[in-house]
Amino acid sequence: MIMMDWLAKAMGLPDHNVSSMVAYGSKLAHSGVEKACLMGAVQYHPVGYDDNYSMRGHLLEKEIEADIEKGLTPFFVVATLGTIHCCSFDNLKELGEVCEKWGLWLHVDAAYAGSAFICPETRHLLAGIELVQSFNFNPHKWLQVQFDCSALWIKDRQKLDTVLHLDPIYLQHSKQDEIVDFRHWQIPLGRRFRSLKLWFVLRSFGVTGLQKWIRGTMDLAEYFADLITKSEHFELFRPRSMGLVCFRAKGSNDQNRALLKSLNEGREIHLIPAEIDDTYFLRLAICSTQTTQKDLDDVLNLMLRHLQKL
């Protein structure tokens, strides 16, 4: 990289100018948010969170005001409903009000937890959804749909269509005024037909069946969280959220890293870690239709055996 900089200087190439446009998301937002900003050549400023790991309106507005003072241009905010670290939920209503005040586009990333909104009792987490410009979740993560399937809604689709609309003669067709042409909604010209796989799931399970499935996984997660709470050797990092349980062995971060390495190398179970505020913890998500309470009992016993070997 240094050599490339030297060579650019020797050739008189211009310095790279970073865009003054700024996008925002929680410090717990998925890395894909920051990656999208890198691809779009805009700045990304992560925002802090409260004691419940939720990005709040006043925290966002503080960042916006500071950036405007610097001469920057805030334009885009990603609210996460179900963060990848611990399935926490940003305060959608507060963020929406801030975005409306400052004229920013508010997008919702509900990749995992969005499936749970099929159950009415979870929809309080959608408070403020009317202030959102776009909303996305992945039915393949928790709604029984095979990979890959992503559902995206745009409040005003013409804004997206206008930005990406190119109509050279070789792509024109006789039905273009009668159909929604998705080549204007995305980067590639073509797209896979994912509607059919979603249709089969909805027809096979029905809304009631999918609600039963979601509630069942959350009940199993609560059962596992209770096992952790009662254990002498483990503790919850935070209360169970949706179908995710965040926990750790009582001890140091290094001990938990060693435990995870031992478990995953044993290949009887696979866990993914996370780290928030210098606390390293493990995550267990209920994903299989075959999971039972006995399986979760076995998981706890398995972890105890590996922990004793450390």
**Residues taking part in catalysis:** 30
Residues 302, 268 contacting (CB under 8 angstroms): yes
List all residues 6 or more positions away from 15 whose beta carbon is below 8 Å from its beta carbon.
none
Instruction: Find residue 247's DSSP bridge partners.
Output: 236, 282
Q: What are phi and psi of 175, to 5 degrees?
A: -105, 10
Q: Which residue pairs from 46-51 have beta carbons closer than 8 angstroms and sit at least 24 positions apart in sequence?
A: 49/88, 49/90
In degrees, to the nearest 5, what angle opens at C-alpha 43 toward C-alphas 42 and 49?
A: 135
The β-bridge relationship of strands 73-80 and 105-109 is: parallel
Instruction: Find residue 24's DSSP bridge partners.
Output: 45, 77
Closest by CA to 81, choosing from 149, 23, 7, 132, is 132
Report how far residue 256's alpha carbon sits from residue 282's, in angstroms, rounded to the nearest whole number.
8
Report how far residue 218's alpha carbon sits from residue 211's, in angstroms, rounded to the nearest whole number.
11
Report how far residue 167's alpha carbon sits from residue 154's, in angstroms, rounded to the nearest whole number.
21
Within 10 angstroms of residue 117's Cβ, the number of other Cβ atoms is: 17
